[in-house]
Amino acid sequence: MGAKTWEEIMPKSLITLSLAIGLLVVACNENKNPVQPEPSYTVSGTLDIWRCGVGDWFNNQGEDHRFGVVTGRTAVLRFISSEGAESVCLTDDSSTFRIALDTGSYSLVIETDYTWPDTVPDLHVGTDTALALNIVYAWFEPASLRVVFYYSNPADSLGEFRERAFLQFFEDRMEGMVVVDSASRTVRTYPPDPAIFAYVTYAVPVAAEHTKWQVVIRAQAVFLEYETFFPGGFYVDPGYYICMNR
């Protein structure tokens, strides 16, 4: 007669009991140190925008600084964690914002149609946090880009037909960011009579799905790449402004 197996020697009730004990041990081990979720906190605040500089009294007399109130637009706030995860919120009409964030360190990127992206680094969230954010205008007109033809002698003007041909070439390389067909044309001569030099400025609308700063970056890249193709005196003007008392 051959040797008996373990199952034949061990009573079935004990086998069932040992399996149950084994499952209980595994279950206890799995829940011994459960992962606790990081607590989240509310980050809220306001966004103000200034002419020329934050706190510049001379250039901001009588100005309301609340971004949503003075511009009628929203700002995009991107909270980027140290691990690279991104949480996004928008300012409302009164220029306030609110978002729930997990405990951790963040970089805050502020994007608007009136400024270059602005970054607040090393923002630590470990409790409910209130922020008073400030940005400075880069330009006042977010909906268009200025393309300028400067003539040191007004008699050398290319004329509107040829100018618009160059604008069409420019638009073809702007990847749909501008709409040249709707561009308005303005001619200014200095001094008025007799004119010594002239500026012909086209206000080229920015496509609705793009922000001004994205368009400016692309426009400058196109100009640098094709600088020798465009006529002398052709340049792109983002619409910067001059600050008084500077």
**pLDDT tens digits, one per residue of 169-205:** 999 999 999 999 999 999 999 987 788 999 999 999 9
For residue range 60-102, what is the model confidence (pLDDT) as tens digits? 888 899 999 999 999 999 999 999 999 999 999 999 999 999 9
Within-domain flag for 245: no
User: Can you point out the beta strands (E) in the chain?
Assistant: 40-50, 76-81, 86-90, 96-102, 104-111, 118-125, 129-136, 144-151, 184-190, 197-205, 234-237
Are 153 and 231 part of one and the same domain? yes
The CATH number of whichever domain residue 149 belongs to comes to 3.30.70
Q: Which residue range is the domain that position 186 belongs to?
A: 144-237
Residue 216 scores a pLDDT above 50 = yes
In a domain, 169, yes or no: yes
Does residue 184 form part of some domain?
yes
Structural domain contains residue 246 = no
State pTM to two decimals. Answer: 0.77
Q: Last residue of a domain, which of 90, 113, 136?
A: 136
The answer to whether residues 117 and 174 belong to one domain is: no
98 and 121 in a single domain? The answer is yes
Query: What is the count of structural domains for the chain?
Result: 2
* pLDDT band of 37, cuts 50, 70, 90: low
Question: Does 204 lie in the same domain as 178?
Answer: yes
Residue 19 has pLDDT above 60, yes or no: no
The last residue of a domain, from among 113, 136, 159: 136
